[in-house]
Amino acid sequence: MKTSEMIGIVRLEDLPNDEIFVQLKPEFHKILEYKIRDYGIERFEKKIGSGRKIGHWLSDGSLIRFDVLIKTLEHLNLSYNGKIEYIRGREGAKIRNPKFTFDFTSCQGVRIVAGILGDGGIPTNRTNPYYTNSDINLVNGFIEDMKFVFGNLKIMKNYIHKKNTTTTTLHFPSLIQKIFLKIGLKKGKKIITNPSIPPFIFNLSKDRKYAFVSQFIDDEGSVNKIAKHISITAGTLKHYKHPNVLKDIQNILLSLKIDTSLYNTGNKPNFTGKDSFIWKIQINGQFQLKQLADNLNLRINKKRKDLKLLVESFKLRVFRRKEYLKTYLNLMKKIQEDKGYFTSLDISEGTGMAIGSCRNTLIRFKEKEFIICIKSPTSGNFHEYGKYILK
C-alpha cells in the first residue's frame, strides 16, 4: 500500500484516531443517541469496547473521539460523510465542514506544500504550523488554498508593522501539523533539517509542477531584469552537500525541459552559530524565461510584472517563429563550414543572445536530433564549451 508521502493524499482515518475530536451535526447526533439508547448505553459500550466514553458523550454533549465514533458507526452501519460539524486535535482551533480526504495533488495543494517549504514551517516547540509573508495577495491566496484542501479552518493571524511593510503570520490548527507530517514535511528549522520535496510532487502533471514552482518563486525567488534571470534561494548548514529542496526544484524544472544552474553564494551567519551557505538556483535564457512567463501563476504583482518586462526585453532579438529553425540551422552550418564545429559561444557571438540561452538552444536542438554533440563541455580550471555538428 502506497503511503500518503507517495500519493499526496491523507484520509482522516490515516491520522491517529484517538487524537481527533468530533462535533457531529445536531440532527445526526440525535439519530445516534436514539439508536444507542434504544440498544442500551452500557450494553453498547461493552459491545464496541469504548468504556464509559459513549455515556459521557451523550450525557454532557461533549466531543466524541474519532476512534470511538468509527466503532459506533461501524456497528450501526452508518457513515460520517456530511455529518460532521467540525473536528479538532486535542487542543487548538476547529476545522468546520472539514474535508475527509486532504488532497495535496491539486494546484492549491502543491502551493501549500511549497509554501511550508518556503516561507512557512512546522515548529518543534509548538503544534501549530505557520506561514508568513508581507505580500497581502500571497497571504490571502495561501488562506484560500488552505480552505480548499482542509475546509473552513480557523486561522490565527499575527502582524508585525514596520515603516513600509506589514508582515502577516498565519497560524494553523494543531491537527494540520499531523497531516503535514503524513505527506513527508518535517518539523524544525529548514536550515538544520535540510528538507526534501515530498515524492508525489514529481509524478504530477505539468500544471501542478508549475503551480509548485510559482509558489516557491513567490516565497524565495527574485526576477533580475538587468542580468536577465530568475533565481531561487535556500540556506543550509555547511556540512550539507546542497539544499535538498533546491536540488529537487532543479529536477522538477528539468522535467519541464528547463535547464538551471545551482551554486552557493558564500557563508552567511545564522541563529545556530554554525557555518552555513546560501545557495541559489539560476534560470537563464530567453526561451526558458518565456516558457516560465507563459506557465507560472505568480501572486506577487511586482514579480509577475518584472518577469513580463524581462521577457519583453528580449523582443528585438526574437526571430519570427517560422524563421527560427531556419535561421539557427543556417548559422550553425556557416560556423561549421569555417571551423568544423560550433559551440554555444559561437552561436552567442553570431546572434547577440546570452551564452546561457544559446546553450539551452543547443540542448533543445540535440534533443530534437538536429545536431550531434562531438565533445561534451568541461568545467573547472580547464573549462571548454561543448562542440556540436549538424546531423
Predicted local distance difference test score (pLDDT) of residue 316: 47
Predicted local distance difference test score (pLDDT) of residue 60: 65
- State the fold for domain 319-390: Arc Repressor Mutant, subunit A (1.10.10)
- Could you tell me which residues come within 8 angstroms of residue 312 by beta carbon, excluding any fewer than 6 positions away? none
- Could you tell me which residues come within 8 angstroms of residue 377 by beta carbon, excluding any fewer than 6 positions away? 383, 384, 385, 386
Q: How far apart are CA 352 and CA 346, in angstroms?
A: 10
- Pick from 315, 317, 341, 313: nearest CA to 327: 317
HSE of 126, CA atoms in CB hemisphere, 13 A? 9
Predicted local distance difference test score (pLDDT) of residue 270: 66
Share above pLDDT 70 across residues of the chain, in percent, rounded to a whole number:
94
pLDDT digits (tens, 9 = 90+) for 316-337: 444 555 567 888 888 899 999 9
Q: What is the H or E stretch that residue 133 is in?
A: strand 130-133
Predicted local distance difference test score (pLDDT) of residue 259: 86
Predicted local distance difference test score (pLDDT) of residue 349: 74
Q: How far apart are CA 114 and CA 216, in angstroms?
A: 6
HSE of 373, CA atoms in CB hemisphere, 13 A? 16
The domains of the chain are located at 21-88, 101-283, 319-390
Tell me the H-state helices in the chain: 4-7, 26-39, 41-48, 53-60, 66-76, 107-117, 136-150, 174-182, 190-193, 206-220, 244-255, 286-295, 301-312, 321-339, 344-351, 355-367
Q: Is the distance from CB of 109 to CB of 8 less than 8 angstroms?
A: yes
pTM for this entry: 0.80
Q: Is the distance from CB of 156 to CB of 126 less than 8 angstroms?
A: no
Q: Is the distance from CB of 232 to CB of 249 less than 8 angstroms?
A: yes
Enumerate residue ranges in the chain where pLDDT < 70: 1, 60-61, 269-273, 315-323, 352, 354, 379-382
Cβ burial of 177 (10 Å; 0-12, 13-18, 19+) is: buried
Predicted local distance difference test score (pLDDT) of residue 287: 81
Q: How far apart are CA 4 and CA 200, in angstroms?
A: 9
- Domain with residues 101-283, CATH architecture: Roll (3.10)
Provide the grid cell at 150.
482542509
